[in-house]
Amino acid sequence: MLLAACGAGGGDPTAKAEDLIACMVDGATVFARVCALERSISDAGALMLVVRHPSGAFRRMTVPKDGRGVSAADGAAPAEITPVDDQWVDVTLAGDRYRLPVAMKP
């Protein structure tokens, strides 16, 4: 699955953006749009994601520069990616699930 890290022209490429995304964390059984998603670009050009749970817990993920896939950046279990449709993928890390857009802009 391809997660595109499309940059917008101008501005600071390392600046963080934050949005709420649907997630199923902390024992939840249905998705709710309650997790904060922060995006930034690493020095190597990879898209760095931090997903913050309502409880204060968080997960860090990396999307490689070519936009293919996502991996845990914090030593958590490997990320499992499941396509939902042509706009969304579910990313599962250690039992928590996050619904991420296929094309993300930092």
- Residue percentage of the chain with pLDDT more than 70: 76
Tokens at 34, concatenated? 């309650």
The Cα–Cα gap between 92 and 102 comes to 15
How far is the C-alpha of 59 from the C-alpha of 25, rounded, in Å? 11
Cα radius of gyration (the chain): 13
- Residue 84: pLDDT above 80? yes
CA 58 to chain centroid, in Å, comes to 11
pLDDT at 32 over 90: yes
Predicted model pTM = 0.76
More confident residue, 106 or 76: 76
What mean pLDDT is predicted for residues 26-42?
Answer: 93
